[in-house]
Amino acid sequence: MKTEPRPAPSLAPQNLDVPLERDVFTRTLIRELSGVLQDVVGLEEASGLVSIVGQNMGRSLDAMYKAAFQVSELNREQVTRVLIDLKRRIQGDFFVIEETEDKIVFGNRACPFAEKVIGRPAMCMMTSNVFGAIAADNLGYAKVELQETIARGHAGCRVVVHLKPTDEATRSVGREYFKPAI
């Protein structure tokens, strides 16, 4: 029985300097999926499809945080802390710029998708829908305005979550979210 010679240990694939692990693979996969969607159906339709995924994820994450807090509904302060915490856990760097009864303005220095988000603004619908779903499910209403995004070439993100349908919210360009009817 003839056997194939084994490669030298230094040439074994697991010893090669290949920047691949689960996180990079997953971020690249999502980037490529959103890119294909943007190219095939256009940015607006791609954003809509990513929005559905984001809204489902937002509701799932909301349920996890409610269970951890042991509450049936988060208050405004908890919503703010949860939105920052969930982004921190996935390597985003969100922080509060301004917070009032009517809105929360977030800044962000690092996208969870890292460099994979550049040129893929449809991926930002994950943030919009996760934030919108959590805020609306707990506070009744949200309109998320993505004023600046890393995906569009800004140095960071500026995300406004309007908590009430004020005149300012009405004038803003964003997506509205409502608490689901029971």
Q: Quick one: average pLDDT of 91-102?
A: 97
- Determine what percent of the chain is predicted with pLDDT higher than 70: 96
Q: State the pTM of this model.
A: 0.85
Structural domains of the chain, with CATH: 20-178 (3.30.1380.20)
Among 11-15, 97-101, 125-129, top mean pLDDT goes to 97-101
- When pLDDT is cut at 50, 70 and 90, the band that residue 7 belongs to is low
How many beta carbons lie within 10 A of that of residue 44, not counting itself?
9
CA-CA-CA-CA torsion sign (45, 152, 161, 94):
positive
- Determine what percent of the chain is predicted with pLDDT higher than 90: 68
Residue 171: beta bridge partners? none
Which of 19-23, 107-111, 165-169 shows the lowest mean pLDDT across its residues? 19-23
Residue 159: beta bridge partners? 106, 146
Q: What is the mean pLDDT of the chain?
A: 92
How many Cα atoms within 13 Å fall on the side-chain side of residue 66? 16
